[in-house]
Structure formats: C-alpha cells, structure tokens
Chain A
C-alpha cells in the first residue's frame, strides 16, 4: 500500500460539480424505445379472434372474451390481457396471424384499483391505443409458417389437356404431415364450414400420423369426404387465420390425403351410432350429396333408407357436374360402396313421378327431396335456340354418361362459375380452342381461383367484361358470337355491376356456344298440389330450421333450398334433415 493508493480515490471529488445522469421520473417522462415492450394494443378491426395469442402465452395471461360487435367471419372473441400474469415477452405479437396485436412503448400506468390491470386491448380504450411506437410483428420473425407445402401437379401443363387423368396428384405422407403441422387449431374454419366439420381435429390427427383417427373425425359429419377433399369450395380456407398474412392451410388437400389412405373405409370407421331408427323407413329422392348424406347418417342409425336416382349413377352434380380429371369415378364409387355396405338401398335410373310420390308418402315415414337444379337458365340473347348453342349442364351430363359431345374447333363458354370452367376445360380436352366470356371482372369470378389458374394454364382464353348480345348463324354451320364490352359501375354498397357500353359490337366466330350462367329448379315431377304447397317464389323449396317443408314429413335440402349451390352446403342440409327427421319421428332428444 502506497501513499498514491491512499490518495487515488479522492480523484472522484473532481466530479462532484458535474450534473447527475439520473432523471427525476415524477417530473420527466422518459419515453420507451421504438420497439419497447409495453402495454398491449390491438387493432380490433384486423383481429380475427383466432386465439393464437392465448395459445402461445406461457403464463396463461390471455383469455379470449366475447365482444359486442365482432366482424364477419371472425370468432367474435378478443384477447383479454391479465397484467398480473403477463411477462411482456411479446410472443403473442410475434405469433399473431393477422398482425393486429402489438405492444405500445408506454410502460407507466398507476392505479389504485388492481382490477383495471385486466383489459381487452382495443375494446377498453386506453391512452396508448394510438401509440405508433412499440413492439410490432416483424416479417423476418414469424412463429407460424405462412408458406403452404406446394401440391404436386401433373407436369408439363401441355400434357394435361391430352388426358382425363387427375391433374392434382395429392400430397405424399411427409408433405401432408408438414402441411398439417402449420395449423394453429384456432377453429375459425369449423364455423365457416357449412357442415361444421371437425377440421382442427382431423388436421391434428394427420399431423400425428393417425390417419384412421382423422378419417373418423371426417366421417363425423361428411359422408363424401374424398369428393370434398378434391373439389370442395372450401370456405374453411377463406377464413383460415394463417391465410390472413400467408397461404391458408390446404384443408381440402389434407382431407383428400386422409381419405385416400384407405381403399376400404369400413375397415377404419367406427360403427357405434345409436340404433334408434329400427323399423322406420325414409325415402330419399335425388342421389346428390344432400340426399346421400341424409341416407347415410339415417342408415347408420338403423333407419331403412331408399335412394331414388333418375340417372344411372348416384352422386348428383358431383357425378355429372365435376370433370373426372378433378374427381375420378373411382373416388365416388368408393364412397358410395361404403353407403351401400352400411345399409343404404340405391335405386338408379328411377325417376319419381307424381303418382309414385303420393305412394312414397304412404309407404315411408319421411321423405327427403334433394333433386337439385337441372333446368338451364336462359341467356336472354337473340339466337340462343340456334343449333350449336347448348347449356353447359346438358353438355356435362352427356359427357359423363359417355355420350359423344361435339365441340368443334372453337368454343365460347359464357359464364364465370365453376360449371363454366369445367365446361371449358372439358372442351379443351376434347380438342377445341376455348374462350370464356364473363360479364364482370376477373376478380369477381365466382369460380375457384385455383380452377381459373389451371384453366388459363391449360390454354383457356379468358374474356372479361363481356356481355353477349346475340348469336348468329354463319355459312358453313359456324356461329357468330356477338358481344359488347361492359364497364363496371358501383351503385350503393353492393359489388360493382357491369353496364354495356352501347354501340360497340365485337364478333367471334365459333363452332359452339356453351351457356353456363346457372340453373333453375324443376319441380314438375311433384304432384301439383304438393309442389304448390312447398315451393317458393323462385321455384325452389322453403324449409324451416329443421329442414322440413310445409308438407309434414317431407324434408328438402341442397341447391333446391339454398342458393349457395355447392356440395358442402347440400351436405349441411342433409345433416340438418337427419336431425329433423329423427325429431319429427319422435326419436330425438328435442321435445
């Protein structure tokens, strides 16, 4: 120890006159850093209430609570944060699929009441709600996987139009499990699915490799899953929370994968339905998805069910409406075989006539009507009755019944729905040049976006904002398709409407004009008094909440009843009718 060491500490005295670094908090507010993790904020307009924040919170600080004004398509729930538990780790922000949740840079909040430190950000207004700073989701760090596993497709594209083989090849096991692992199990899809299929359950089973469990979950409320797995309109994917900032889960392809794992479904499905319908019989008129659903779920509950189908093959629009490169006949037959194995009696080539309907009412305890829409809508343009102008629905039925369909060299398909796309892609495979004429914009097309992409890839030419004016006969048997351009007008709050720009006529020389602008119901097969009793203003049938028409014991569903015109809605109607029939016959739990 030297004198130098004794003196050394006194050098600090030199700093006695300097200003201190510390800031008196009560007088000066020190703002948090730009990405400070402070109190939560939530953009409730963007929030979909998926609850992923609640799932990832390792402190269980987040509960999902119902709010008064939810947005359409969301869960109606919003996160409530308990600051007695929150540790401000911001995993909730980094996982948020919609990117609505954030943390503000505000970190000082003093209150005597401990209960105020539980609030729903964005709903219970706070002064930091508008804080621009604070922790926000960053593109470079995502706790969910926004990228879908690509579906293997038949390649090259040119080869697709040379064959009727399936274009979509299906996931391999590894691909399916990787895709299933992207699911956050929020369940928004369950609400969006008309049939409320147990989607997160079967996706989780696929992820874990339990495909038999997945198929059992799927068969809870869908007897045609392989069809839905290939061609469903998949409203589930529209609301998928991962889809907000990424690709939605390939829910449809996963369902397809699970059902394709088993060639004999009856071996994996559990058959433990309560046998409540013994001795009761139900007639199902129309073997479409709605009718088959009713028949299947009644049959497994012990009812004696007979399906009457006018065509040689059941399946309805899923048989004659969907091209085989999307939904091969083998897939359909596999599912129908399970139904017949489990007791559904199917009578094909059996068109019910009015007198027979009266007899059926006598012979059966209940009747389900699901005959769909078969009468083509009119083009309402001059020349639509010329030979060479044909409704798409007739072309599809003829094609699927094995009849020869002549499409010539060049076809124009009028319409923008899935039927139009199907007719166009079938015509391509029959060797024609195909043009689709649609009166609205591309983004307004009701057809599935992947279908539109595939059609374009296969060489189908799309013409939008195209209003057909008339069709004229050309010398040599060809047709002159005359159309005018349209402009889009926004009126009120509805979607923009096409308006013809007068005075312009364009000509397109074609061999065939295929009209795919929708179908209407045709109830002429019903006795006149029954038809009058149960039909409504647009020619369809009105049902109550149990699926029953105005005629007691007569139930209906599918395209006849709802205007959505997709298979899954018909399946949902069938499920509703099953409960309705059981309750109507006094076998259910409902009073």
Chain B
C-alpha cells in the first residue's frame, strides 16, 4: 500500500513558504501551547508558539477540536435537516449561516421570489440583532483579554437582554434555528417591537459609559494603539473582509456592495477607522453597534405587520432540488461569509463549501503577525481579528 505523500500535492510549496515553516530549533526557545483550554483563546482552537522570553518567534494555529465536519454532515442529510447544523458553524452568530443556507437553497430551487415580504424583513431583523449582540460580546471580550472586568460585565448583560428578544422570537437564546427555507419559522409575538425598542434604548444609554471604559480609557489605548497592525497590502492578497478591513479605512461591506434582503431599502453607513491596529478595529465595532441599533429601529418602523412570514413549503422529507450551483454571500460581524453550493437533483446537497472570514483572520493573518509579537498581546490580537473556529474546521 502506498503512503499518501502530501509534499507532492499542488499547493504544498505555498505551505512551505509561510514564515513559520522550516525554521531550525533554537535551544533558547520555549515551546508553548496556547489553548485549546485557555480563556484567552477564541473558541476551540489552539496556537502552538515558540517563544524567546515573552516574544513570540513563530507559531502555528491548530484546529481539529470540534470533531464535526459540517460540510460533510450536510451532504448526508435532507435539505431541511441541515438547518439545525449550520447554526453551529458560528455559535455566537448563527443567523448568517442560516440565511446563507436558506438563500442558496432558494436560489437553486428557483423559488427565491417566493419568500414573503414579511419573511424578508424578519430575516433582516434577526441578522441585524445578531450582529448587534455578537459585536457587544466581542467588545466585552476584547477588554476582557486585557484583564478588565467591568466592561465585559456590562456588554454581556446588554447582550443578554437581546438574547431575551431572541428567545421570545425564535424559541432559543443562542441557537435560533429561525431563518429557514421559504422565510422564517414563526411570526413576531405581540409587543415584540416595544420590548426590543426598550432594549435598544438601554444599550444606547450605556454606550457613552462603555466608551469611557474602553475607547477613552488610557490603559486600553496604551495596550492597543499601534499593536498588531495588519498591513494594508495584505487586504487583497489575503481576501480580508469585515471590521479588520474597515479598520484599514477601506469602506467595503457586503450589505452595501452586494445588496441582499432588505438592506437596499435601509439607510446605513459603512463604518471605518484608520490605523489597522486593535484600537481601530474596536472603533469600527463600536461604530457598528450604533449603526445596528439605527438599522433595527428602521426595520421595526418599515416592517409590514400583516402577511405570511414563510412561503408554502413542499414536503420537506421528499423535497428535491434540480442540479445547479451557486455562491451566496452575506456580511457577518466578522466579514463576508458565503456558501458555495452544488446540488445534483437529489434530496441532499451534493457539495457545500463555506467561505468564512475566520480562516483568513485566525490562520493566515495571525500566523503572519505572530513573529515578534509579545505574548501578552496574543489574546487581544486574536479577539480583535474575531474568529469562529468551527467556521475554519467546517
């Protein structure tokens, strides 16, 4: 039996060109595993580090702790059975993947026009609510990595009030499983808009105080300004999207550049900052919180109160989709996410590939930035790049 030799495979030469590969071991080096069990790590991944003192000489990221393989799971299930799976591709922000799955199936089945108006609005609403809650969480996480406790307590509390709204609307706080083929699964509950409005007011009232704790704090500024700068020339080379890109001053946003759902009808601006360091990325997130609140308020105003929220569905146990392929994209809080989907006329997906920003952020950018970084900045850097490891280990 012949052994598979990956060194002869196309693309292997690219691996060996990475700055970490092929370096000789220095006797002064200390090898250290950062994660997978470390509160500073972003989810279920780890970074293998070689240190000299507290300076990182090089490092390699590792995933493989999830044991799932979403794409293969989805290829072995009926279309509707994939909905409870995709939400797990990013635990913190499940709605983007739910929308991508629903949207790509709708496009391939030729029924994308059948999604009712109200279903479209409700989708836009939960996606924006989701962006708001996850951005609050990352803001808290960002300062948490520097040992500050008060701001995370506040942001997580505010996020929990949003999760109450999610629970009311979707039946679940974290895994919403709400956006589905044809629309959404349930209608608005009576009085939902008022309660959500009250939560938005509460968040908005607290934002200036949060600014004092985070962006205006001298400690935070010292720890983040000029730290972990992502060079602008990497942007197109590595396909950087989301807040990491916008912190370079580049106003790119899938919601505006490739409009979907109800975003063309909404008034919002693409938030940017300059500096491309951790501070700039936090500035972008802080601006996006305000922008999301602004968007949600518009949605609550413009959304029709009556009408169906989901198209009439075929029998989901026998449903087949004609052969075809598509790429559908949406802006998550981390950047552009997309599904490449291929169907073959059967009742299962032939092949699906998730394009997520996490691979770029947590593997490519991070590994390039590691040499020379102080180990104390690693957690803050990883959070500022914002990753969901399940999205890498898909």
Contact = CB atoms under 8 A, between A and B. Distances in A.
Contacts of B171: 33, 35-37, 90, 103, 135
A575 interface: no
A5 B220 CA distance: 9
B199 to A, nearest CB: 12
Contact of A9 (B213, B309, B312, B315): B213
Interface in A122-176: 135, 138, 140-145, 147
Which secondary structure dominates chain B's binding surface?
A: mixed
A58 interface: yes
Contact of A181 (B177, B180, B318): B318
A582 interface: no
A32 interface: yes
Contact of B81 (A8, A15, A58, A185): A58
Contacts of A207: 318
Interface string B161-203: 0001001101110010100100101110100000000000000
B317 A89 contact: no
A141 B218 contact: no
A322 B377 CA distance: 87
Interface string B194-228: 00000000000000010111001111011000000
A184 B317 contact: yes
Contact of A56 (B170, B218, B310, B317): B317
A143 B183 CA distance: 12
B318 A183 contact: yes
A8 B208 CA distance: 11
A4 B221 CA distance: 12
Nearest to B143: A9
Nearest to B208: A11
A12 B84 contact: no
Interface in B52-109: 77-78, 80-85
Contacts of B78: 56, 58
A52 B317 contact: yes
Interface string A1-38: 11011101101100100000110000000001111110
Contacts of A91: 80-81, 83-84
B319 interface: yes
A108 to B, nearest CB: 14
A144 B80 CA distance: 11
A35 B170 CA distance: 7
A144 B167 contact: no
Contact of B150 (A6, A12, A147): A12
A230 interface: no
B114 interface: no
A36 B157 CA distance: 20
A37 B315 contact: no
Contacts of B219: 9
A286 to B, nearest CB: 41
B165 to A, nearest CB: 9
Contacts of A234: none
A257 to B, nearest CB: 17
B80 A8 contact: no
A145 B186 CA distance: 17
Interface string A46-83: 00000010011011000000000000000000000000
A34 B168 contact: yes
A55 B319 CA distance: 14
Contacts of B218: 1-2, 5-6, 8-9
A184 B315 CA distance: 8
A56 B84 CA distance: 11
Given A140-B309, A144-B315, A34 B85 contact: no
Contacts of B81: 56, 58, 91
B31 to A, nearest CB: 36
29 contacts: A4-B216, A8-B212, A8-B218, A9-B150, A9-B213, A12-B213, A33-B168, A36-B167, A36-B172, A58-B82, A59-B84, A89-B175, A90-B171, A90-B177, A94-B185, A138-B185, A140-B308, A140-B309, A141-B183, A141-B185, A141-B186, A141-B310, A142-B312, A143-B315, A145-B312, A181-B314, A181-B315, A182-B318, A204-B318
Residue of A21, A89, A94, A95 ringed by the most chain B CB atoms within 10 A:
A89
Contacts of A6: 218
A142 B80 contact: no
Contact of B83 (A5, A21, A89): A89
Contacts of A219: none
B313 interface: yes
B316 interface: yes
A5 B83 CA distance: 46
A431 B243 CA distance: 82
A5 B217 contact: yes
Contacts of A15: 209
Contacts of A145: 312-315
A364 interface: no
A21 B221 contact: no
B212 A34 contact: no
Contacts of B175: 87-89
A253 to B, nearest CB: 17
A6 B221 CA distance: 10
A140 B313 CA distance: 10
A9 B219 CA distance: 9
Nearest to A242: B315
Contacts of A12: 150-151, 209, 212-213
Interface string B291-334: 00000000000000000111011111111100000000000000
Interface in B205-260: 209, 211-213, 216-219, 221-222
Contacts of B317: 52, 55-56, 95, 143-144, 184-185
Interface in A199-223: 204, 207
Contact of B316 (A34, A56, A147, A204): A56
Contacts of A37: 171-172
Nearest to A143: B316
Given A8-B218, A143-B313, 12 more contacts: A5-B216, A8-B212, A8-B217, A21-B160, A33-B164, A35-B189, A37-B172, A56-B80, A58-B82, A94-B185, A140-B308, A141-B183
A91 B85 CA distance: 12
A204 B183 CA distance: 28
A142 to B, nearest CB: 6
The 7 A-B residue pairs whose C-beta atoms are closest, nearest first, are A58-B81, A89-B84, A5-B218, A8-B212, A8-B216, A143-B316, A37-B171
A9 B319 contact: no
A9 B189 contact: no
Contacts of A89: 83-84, 175, 177
A147 B313 CA distance: 11
A140 B310 contact: yes
A140 B186 CA distance: 7
Nearest to A134: B171
Contacts of B168: 33-35
Contacts of A35: 168, 170-171, 186, 189
Contacts of A11: 209, 212-213
Contacts of A32: 167
Contacts of A21: 157, 160
A15 B180 CA distance: 42
Contacts of A90: 171, 177
Contacts of B216: 4-5, 8-9
Contacts of B186: 35, 138, 140-141
Contacts of A147: 312
Contacts of A36: 167, 171-172
Nearest to A144: B315
A9 B313 contact: no
A21 B78 CA distance: 42
Nearest to A10: B212
Nearest to B167: A33
A204 B180 CA distance: 26
B182 to A, nearest CB: 8
B316 A9 contact: no
Contacts of A142: 312-313
A286 B223 CA distance: 98
